[in-house]
Amino acid sequence: MKFKLKRICFSLLLILVLSYGLLGCSDRIETTEATDEIKNVPIEKPVETIAETTTPAIFNTLNETLEQYQPQVSILSPKSERVYQDNNIEVKLQVQDLPIFKDEELQMGPHLTILLDNQPYEAIYDLEKPIILKELSPGTHTIRVFASRPWNESFKNDGAYAQTTFHIFTKTDENNPDSSIPLLTYNRPNGDYGAEPIMLDYYLTNAPLHLVAQEDSEDDIVDWKIKVTINNQVFVLDEWRTIYLKGFKKGKNWVKLEFIDENGDKVKNAFNTTVRVITYNTDGQDTLSKLVRGEISSELAKAIVVENYQPQPIETTPLVEEEIPEIEEESPVVEDEAPVVEEEIPEIEEETPVVVEETPIVEDEAPVVEEEIPEIEEETPVVEENTPEIDQNNPEIEEENSSKIEEETLEIEEENPVIEEESSIMEEDNPTFEEESSIVEEEITVFEE
């Protein structure tokens, strides 16, 4: 019995221990799952903003002029696989079937693009000027050169590309591409941009044709693709062509090109993976930005594809047609001035009554003279009153008095010449005064008689 009790107690104890262990494991599993969820929270997929768009129309138009060229590029110096005992190297290039130049006004033109190792490119517009690579590091270096259109798009015909590998003091494994493996040469985008869309361009060497690579899956020819990553957004190109992209953010953007096989694995060779940082702003005033925005006409832009091109005069016909409405609009202005002249005519008519009003002013002066005349008439009766007295008393006295009267009359006339002057003035101002004067004279003669 005691043995059985001990067994039962041991079994119960074992069950409790196992149960506790299971509970502890479940707690640990839940904690681990929660930790994994927390770790996954910050991981976010990049927002897809970069998208392919159409080529600016101006470039399609200018390409029609450049289609006639099949440039052939050669590197004359440095020589392939030569070891130089100097770290300053002169580069000599040659190009056939492509005029290279730079238009002075637009600062663009067909050129050669040269890359040392995997450094950013340099544009060559004049082959007569010496090209010196200074202070090269010891070891192996590679120069790649290809012909480019004015807007930096590479010519992709056979012979448009050349490369050479040389050594400074000694050979090294760096910057030494394998000529038997496909090689990717990064071209654009690079540097600063002031307008969208932005060109993506590259050059391929030793890349097999897709039709050949896909013909037999059992052969050793591996098909290829170009993996493009822009600001963490990834897409793949399976054609060798230039494309234009939009959706870049303002400021710094980074672009990476990788040469991969049909399985998505990287094809290892020098320069097959390249990363560039570019700067994008929306208000660029350089020629490329203006071309992309369509601010330069195709006629003016021909100067960057045709050397010494003289733009044709701008068509004047539309301008003349636009000026015709302006002349027609001026006609109503002349018509509006006619009523202004008509309005001035009534003003002249209003002045006429003013002249008429001056006439009564002269007439008002005449009565003033007429008032002075009665004064003389009043004196005359005084003489007449004395005359009868003389006639009644003595005829002799009458003669004396008459003579005296005549003398007094003369004295009066001499003493008051003003009256005569005023009379003459009044005669001029008022012809009626002459008639009154004649009446006065007749009365005086009667008196004398």
Is the per-residue pLDDT at 208 higher than 80?
Answer: yes
Confidence of residue 202 (pLDDT cuts 50, 70, 90): very high
Strands 122-124 and 131-133, sheet pairing: unpaired
**Which residues, in sequence order, are CB contacts of 46 under 8 Å at separation 6+?**
231, 232, 233
Percent above pLDDT 90 for the chain: 53
Confidence of residue 350 (pLDDT cuts 50, 70, 90): very low
Q: Quick one: pLDDT at residue 372?
A: 45
Q: Quick one: pLDDT at residue 323?
A: 56
pLDDT tens-digit readout, 103-149: 999 999 999 999 999 998 899 999 999 999 999 999 999 999 999 99
Count of other CB atoms within 10 angstroms of residue 413:
11
Q: What is the C-alpha to C-alpha distance for residues 182 and 165, in angstroms, rounded to an integer?
A: 16
Closest to 309 measured CA to CA, from 74, 65, 27: 65
Between 142 and 318, the more confident residue is: 142
pLDDT tens-digit readout, 34-50: 344 444 545 455 567 99
Average pLDDT over residues 425-433: 49
Global confidence as pTM = 0.61
Q: Quick one: pLDDT at residue 17?
A: 53
Q: Quick one: pLDDT at residue 76?
A: 97
pLDDT tens-digit readout, 6-44: 556 566 666 665 555 544 444 433 333 434 444 454 545
Q: What is the C-alpha to C-alpha distance for residues 117 and 172, in angstroms, rounded to an integer?
A: 13
Confidence of residue 444 (pLDDT cuts 50, 70, 90): low
For the chain, the straight-line distance linking the first and the last C-alpha, in angstroms and rounded, comes to 210
pLDDT tens-digit readout, 381-404: 443 444 444 444 444 545 555 555
Count of other CB atoms within 10 angstroms of residue 282:
12
